[in-house]
Amino acid sequence: MGAGYANPALAFDPGLVYDLRADDYIPYLCGLGLGDDGVTEIAHRPVACGGVKAITEAELNYPSLVVSLLSQPITVNRTVTNVGKARSVYTAVVDIPKDVSVTVQPPMLRFTELKERQSFTVTVRWAGEPNVAGAEGNLKWVCDDYIVRSPLVIPAKGE
């Protein structure tokens, strides 16, 4: 599931961005078991994975949230930077099938300046019996001037 159609006009004024630097991928690459040589080759600099706490794909600060609910609940952390209006309040709105429960904390992000960063957590769990077909929906941060949409995907069992 993609994040939707790209609107070039809106892409220049997104409201919020999820920052992710090249070095943020190193703990993920180490977690894939590529070893020091493999990660060093990708990173174009020496990397010692033994000194790095490995992370999963879900722990990367991506706008999309892909969580495997083999064990539940799953909580992921995200950080956004305000690049829209200095004073803005965003409210979390979740659109997901009713058999999935999603909790966003805090449910509101209040920004007072540009380039201000704020973090939030998203906890996902099955509200009833796990659905082997998976589920798709989205998390939207909504304010007066912007809607920042992030896809939320629970892959089908075995994917």
In a domain, 138, yes or no: yes
In a domain, 9, yes or no: no
Q: What is the pLDDT of residues 55-79, one digit of tens each?
A: 988 899 999 998 887 667 889 999 9
The one-letter amino acid code at 86 reads: A
- Residue 42's pLDDT band, with cuts at 50, 70 and 90, is very high
Q: Is the link from the previous residue into 73 a cis peptide, with omega within 30 of 0? A: yes
Strands 147-154 and 65-66: parallel
Q: Decide if pLDDT at 4 tops 60.
A: no
What pLDDT sits at residue 1?
A: 42
Report which of 13, 78, 23 is spatially closest to residue 45, judged by C-alpha positions.
23
Strands 65-66 and 88-95: unpaired
Q: What is the DSSP letter of 146?
A: -
Mean pLDDT along residues 32-44? 94
Domain containing residue 141 = 15-20+60-154
Q: Decide if pLDDT at 2 tops 70.
A: no
CB count in 10 Å sphere of residue 47: 23
> How many structural domains does the chain have?
1
Q: Between 131 and 47, name the one with better pLDDT.
A: 47
What pLDDT sits at residue 132?
A: 75
- The pTM of the full predicted model, rounded to 2 decimals, is 0.85
Averaged confidence pLDDT in the chain: 89
In a domain, 3, yes or no: no
In a domain, 36, yes or no: no
In a domain, 33, yes or no: no
In a domain, 122, yes or no: yes
CATH at 138: 2.60.40.2310
Q: Decide if pLDDT at 106 tops 60.
A: yes
